[in-house]
Amino acid sequence: MTVKKSTLTKASAAAKAPAETPALKTKAAPSTEKAGAPAETPAKKPEPKAAEKKSAKKPATKKKPAARKTAAKAAAKATKKSAEKKPAKKRAAARKEPAKLAAKEEPAKLAAKEEPAKLSAREEPAKLSAREVAKLAEEKRSRLETKTAGQIAPPDEKLKVLFVSPEVQPFAGTGGLGEVAGSLPKELNRLGIDCRVVLPLYGSVSQEYRSRMKFLGHKDIPVAWRKKYMGVFSLQHEGVTVYFIDNEEYFRRDGLYGYYDDCERFAFFSRAVLESMEFTGFNPDIIHANDWQTAMVPVYQDALYHREYCTTVFTIHNVEYQGRYGTEVISDVLGLPEGAAHLVEYNGDVNLMKGGIQTANLVSTVSPSYAEELKDPACAFGLDGMIRACSYKLRGILNGISTDVYDPADDPYIPACYSPADLSGKKECKRAFQEMAGLPQRDVPLIVLISRLVTAKGIDLMTPVMDDVLSGNDVQFAVLGTGYHFYEDYFRGLADRHPDRARAFIEFNKGISHQLYAAGDILLMPSKSEPCGLSQMIACRYGTVPVVRATGGLRDSISDCTLGEGNGFVFDSYDTDGFYHALMNAVSRFHDTENWQNLVRYDLTRDFSWSRSAEQYIDMYEQVRFH
């Protein structure tokens, strides 16, 4: 056991200190004439049509072309006869020779040759029936999935992914999405993917990171009928290239979300993601958007930008938040072209998440169970119809946690480190927390709750029974979190009514959260809905046994240990009795010291790292790469 003194006090103080957020010098908005913009290419003189060439009169003095044609035909016949006499191998080589020559041509010449074909291909569907257009699209998809795919993206070239998120830790975050965006790209890069991240340059991004950023460029981009400044910065952080989209009018604010103009802010950000590639020089194979704030990225790609050989993935982290607005934003904010409004219209209003689900090439969510639950009207908050219609492209991948950030063997926030081989450090963490919180230092079950205090987290199941739990059992309880005021007041009152057994920390404090994970014996997580959940995984990582309801990612990560194998205590029905009995089951088994210690060691060895999840994301990317 390694004991680190005075860590509790220091960690708590450090976590409360506000982050420094000095302003970043912003380039002046460019004039209408863009500096460094490529000059418009002059139009070429059109080539004469084939019919005109044939009908053109030949000069009177030149009467030998017919003779030359006759000689040419004779030579062609001779060549054909000699070719027929060649061995099969030589004929095969002769057929391959033009391909070799074409491969040596300069890219610019190839582009020039292919341009008429591209134009005609774009115009062709208008002349065909719907059935013929669908047939052409299917043929194109089949070609891309076979030999042609190798010409578009060579097998030895890294898969390029642009991960788009409204929040990314450690730069800006309010919840689980920020942790995912801060951890998954790092693991994907470790596994050989070129994964880069893009997020808004919020006012909360600290000077520590701003001072290391590189300015890439700026331009004005459209937000419906208006033009808005966009600056682009880059930063190398822990092996990941991170891009920041700058616009102080939209993003230099105290918080990340919850403003009257959120629709406009994130419509701008979504267009900026696609416009910024002009400055980043990064042309991804896949753009991976996350939650409603970035749902317009696949919509704009589908309706406006049409980037070739670029597919989109959209991940639903929490379907409860969908980005719903009145239909007036279609023309005033979103700026969709004529005929594209239906992409975001849903049930009489605008639903940005619906647009992302419909237009993305593939849709994922953060656990397999949640992917199934989203098809149920009781769980999808009105989007079940659209999700069922798109179920053919829906995947569920359980998130992971950063085992570097959450590591009881090397955690700067806890007073003593520990491992499955030596649990003495966990006991010291419990004693030190009791001392800091002013609780009696006794070896009794310490029940902890680290959560947003909202109904979706199952807080309404706790309030009717926690007084009885504390008065009728020799246990202690500590809560950390913020949320609805009536829940905050309830837990303050609970601590007042049970001064020797309960403490309430109505705040978000990173240091205290780590200390509670390490000190606790039982974690409460009776969620009504939980797309994935990270707290139950972190608790296992620290040997704190979770009590959960079987829903979403909780069902996929925690199994009941009552009958033997398992890593927690699970109840099914969403009611107070189910929660109470599961909690009492855990409390009673705490006193079976030997078996409880074995359960703690088992939880400490569970693999909830990102490496497992990242492999599944790579498989998903490969499936959609040539869609």
CA atoms within 13 A of residue 120's CA, in its CB half-sphere: 5
Burial class (CB in 10 A: 0-12, 13-18, 19+), 398: buried
Task: Report the pLDDT value the prediction gives residue 138, as an integer from 0 to 100.
Answer: 60
**DSSP helix/strand/coil, 244:** strand
The residue among 547, 518, 310, 523 whose CA lies nearest residue 431 is 518
Terminal C-alpha separation, the chain: 53
**DSSP helix/strand/coil, 326:** coil
Q: What is the dihedral of CA 369, 370, 372, 377, to 10 degrees?
A: 140
Distances, alpha carbon 431 to alpha carbons 15, 436, 478, 543, in Å:
21, 9, 14, 16
384 close to 393: Cβ distance less than 8 angstroms: no
159 close to 286: Cβ distance less than 8 angstroms: yes
Q: Is 432 left (phi over 0), alpha (psi -120 to 50) or beta?
A: alpha
Beta bridge partners of 525: 548
395 close to 389: Cβ distance less than 8 angstroms: no
Eight-class DSSP state of 509: -
- The architecture that CATH gives domain 156-400+614-624 is 3-Layer(aba) Sandwich (3.40)
Eight-class DSSP state of 573: S
- Do 156-400+614-624 and 403-608 agree at the fold level? yes
The residue among 171, 158, 165, 166 whose CA lies nearest residue 184 is 165
**DSSP helix/strand/coil, 452:** coil
The residue among 261, 203, 270, 167 whose CA lies nearest residue 22 is 203
**DSSP helix/strand/coil, 213:** coil
- The architecture that CATH gives domain 403-608 is 3-Layer(aba) Sandwich (3.40)
Taking the chain (627 residues) in runs of 10, the rounded mean pLDDT of each run is 48 43 42 39 41 42 43 47 44 41 43 43 46 56 42 61 97 90 96 97 96 97 96 97 98 94 98 97 97 98 93 96 96 94 96 98 97 95 96 96 94 96 96 97 97 95 97 97 97 97 95 97 97 96 98 97 92 97 97 95 96 94 84
599 close to 563: Cβ distance less than 8 angstroms: no
CA atoms within 13 A of residue 423's CA, in its CB half-sphere: 22
Taking the C-alpha atoms of residue 445 and residue 447, their distance in angstroms, rounded to an integer, is: 6
The residue among 362, 381, 398, 520 whose CA lies nearest residue 450 is 520
Task: Report the pLDDT value the prediction gives residue 132, as an integer from 0 to 100.
Answer: 60
- Tokens found for residue 450: 């680290």
The CB density around residue 546, as the number of other CB atoms within 10 Å, is 25
Burial class (CB in 10 A: 0-12, 13-18, 19+), 29: middle
- Which residues of 382-432 form beta strands (DSSP E)? 394-396, 416-417
Residue type, 311: T
Q: What is the dihedral of CA 114, 116, 122, 128, to 10 degrees?
A: -120
| Secondary structure (DSSP) of 330-388 | IIIII-PPTT-GGGTEETTEEEHHHHHHHHSSEEEES-HHHHHHTTSTTTSTT-HHHHH
365 close to 315: Cβ distance less than 8 angstroms: yes
The residue among 250, 253, 211 whose CA lies nearest residue 233 is 211
**DSSP helix/strand/coil, 196:** strand
Taking the C-alpha atoms of residue 395 and residue 408, their distance in angstroms, rounded to an integer, is: 32
623 close to 410: Cβ distance less than 8 angstroms: no
Residue type, 92: A
The residue among 127, 122, 125 whose CA lies nearest residue 135 is 125
Q: Which helix (H) or strand (E) segment is 502 a member of?
A: strand 502-505
**Which residues have a Cβ under 8 Å from the Cβ of 61 and sit 6 or more positions away?**
none
The residue among 198, 178, 396, 391 whose CA lies nearest residue 287 is 198
Task: Report the pLDDT value the prediction gives residue 133, as an integer from 0 to 100.
Answer: 52
- Tokens found for residue 446: 């310490």
- Residue ranges per structural domain of the chain: 156-400+614-624, 403-608
Residue type, 110: L
Beta bridge partners of 546: 523
Distances, alpha carbon 426 to alpha carbons 70, 423, 522, 538, 601, in Å:
96, 5, 13, 15, 11
pTM: 0.74
210 close to 24: Cβ distance less than 8 angstroms: yes
Q: What angle do CA 483, 460, 378 make, to 5 degrees?
A: 95
- Tokens found for residue 4: 């680190």
The residue among 568, 581, 575 whose CA lies nearest residue 608 is 568
Taking the C-alpha atoms of residue 293 and residue 262, their distance in angstroms, rounded to an integer, is: 8
